[in-house]
Every structure is written in structure tokens, then in C-alpha cells.
């Protein structure tokens, strides 16, 4: 006995098939801007270097990965670079300037989210104490090159634009992309020039200074999940 309802069959037929995709490369960037520049602490770089290395030793940061860029005529060019050396992959760097801390991580996995959040928290605590400053704002940015498994990449993004948008200019549409700017967040979806049949997506969001790093990770994960839902894609395992 067939108990399938006709209207359900129609809905299943109209529902587009979820496409398979692969993130070929990703770069995570976390930026904390300080309430005031840490000029006094930077006068003796060893104080900052020692404080940060002590805080990040468990994540593989050693003095071998430290680079001082302190001989400069402009204070805005002053920085101390900490490169994770054990393990060296996936690459992670912290750049400490007078007015901000920037952490970058290449191809981060969600299994590493708790570790990266704890790493950021430890670095901020060390800088607060050694630099005698506090955090004014935070920003998290993720850039991803997403290769589409089947079909053309422009078919993935075409539904994002209204038909009216395609009346602009003339000629064949090679790729319809978008830039969406909200009050404290931005998303860019463009054609990747680094990977074949791939999208380049950049999500950036500003956060309040008191929000803990683990909460920032949760927000980013929600943003990514919403992205793939809207694009009707899922990451191939």
C-alpha cells in the first residue's frame, strides 16, 4: 500500500539537492585593539616577550619563533612577531603592536577551536598585565576558498541576487557575487582566483571587548553554518 502523499512528493521534487563542497584553504584572523598603546612596556621588549612566551609555552611558542621589529622611526610600525614553532603546522602567528594584538591561524579545524580560544585568552591576560592596558574592541575574520564539487560555481550564488540585478550592464554573467555590510559585520562572496571552480568567502564581525574568546568561536561557527545553509552546500567528509 502506497501511503506517500502527493503534496510531499512535490515538495521533495522541488527541493534542490545539497551540493558537496571542500574548503581548500582558510585563514582565521583575530584582532584585539587596546584601549591605549602599550608604549611604556614596549620600551623594554624583553618584558613583553617574556610575558607572552610564558603564557603561550603550552601551545608551542618558543623564543626561536620570535622576531623583533622594534628598530623603526614610526611607532605604528613597531611589532613583535611570535611564530608557533612546536608544532610548526598548521601555522599560527601572533603579531603584537603597540595598539593591537593579531592572531592568524591557517586552515584551522573546529576541533582546535577550544585550544585557539584558550590561547587568545592567555595572550590577552599576559598583555593586560605586562602592558597595563585593556581591550577596547575585538574582531574575528575568516577567509575561505570553497571549491564546489559539481556544477558551476555561479549556479551556487545566482539565487543570492534578485532578477533585477542581472539587468545591469550586458554580456554573459561569469560570476554573481555579493558584498553585504551590516552594522558590525560584513560578508563578501566572490570568485576565487586561487582555486578552480571555487568561491572566496570572507566573513568579518566586530565584538564587544568583554566577550570571551570561546564565545567568539561559537558566533563564528553559527555564521559559517548559516553561510553553507544559504548556499545550499555541505562540506564533503
Q: Convert the pLDDT of each residue in 155-169 to its tens digit.
A: 999 999 999 999 999
Contacts of 28 by beta carbon, 8 Å cutoff, 6+ apart: 103, 104, 105, 106, 108, 116, 140, 141, 142
d(CA 13, CA 9): 6
| Cell output for 223 | 555564521
Res 44: pLDDT: 79
Given a cut of 50, the residues of the chain with pLDDT beneath it are: 1-6, 8-9, 11-13
Res 155: pLDDT: 95
Contact 79/69 with Cβ under 8 angstroms?
A: yes
3-state secondary structure of 162: coil
Res 237: pLDDT: 61
CA atoms in the 13 A half-sphere facing the CB of 123:
26
d(CA 167, CA 112): 45
What Rg, from alpha-carbon coordinates, does the chain have? 22
Q: Work out the end-to-end distance of the chain between its first and last CA atoms, rounded to an integer number of angstroms.
A: 37
- Global pTM? 0.89
3-state secondary structure of 50: helix
Contact 147/195 with Cβ under 8 angstroms?
A: yes
Amino acid at each position: 500500500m502506497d501511503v506517500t502523499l502527493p503534496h510531499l512528493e512535490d515538495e521533495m521534487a522541488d527541493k534542490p539537492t545539497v551540493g558537496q563542497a571542500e574548503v581548500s584553504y582558510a585563514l582565521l584572523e583575530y584582532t584585539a585593539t587596546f584601549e591605549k598603546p602599550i608604549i611604556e612596556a614596549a620600551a623594554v621588549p624583553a618584558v613583553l616577550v617574556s610575558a607572552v612566551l610564558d603564557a603561550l609555552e603550552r601551545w608551542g611558542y618558543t623564543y626561536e619563533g620570535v622576531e623583533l621589529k622594534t628598530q623603526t622611526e614610526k611607532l605604528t610600525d613597531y611589532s613583535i612577531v611570535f611564530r608557533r614553532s612546536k608544532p610548526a603546522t598548521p601555522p599560527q602567528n601572533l603579531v603584537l603592536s603597540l595598539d593591537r594584538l593579531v592572531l592568524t591561524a591557517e586552515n584551522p579545524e573546529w576541533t582546535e577551536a577550544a585550544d585557539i580560544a584558550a590561547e587568545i585568552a592567555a595572550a590577552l591576560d599576559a598583555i593586560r598585565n605586562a602592558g597595563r592596558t585593556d581591550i577596547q574592541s575585538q574582531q574575528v575574520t575568516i577567509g575561505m576558498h570553497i571549491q564546489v564539487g559539481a556544477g558551476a560555481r555561479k549556479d551556487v550564488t545566482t539565487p543570492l541576487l534578485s532578477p533585477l540585478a542581472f539587468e545591469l550592464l550586458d554580456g554573459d554573467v561569469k560570476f554573481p557575487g555579493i558584498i553585504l555590510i551590516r552594522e558590525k559585520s560584513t560578508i563578501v562572496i566572490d570568485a576565487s582566483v586561487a582555486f578552480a571552480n571555487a568561491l572566496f568567502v570572507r566573513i568579518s564581525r566586530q565584538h564587544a571587548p568583554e566577550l570571551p574568546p570561546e564565545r567568539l568561536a561559537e558566533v563564528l561557527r553559527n555564521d559559517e553554518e548559516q553561510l553553507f545553509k544559504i548556499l545550499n552546500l555541505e562540506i564533503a567528509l
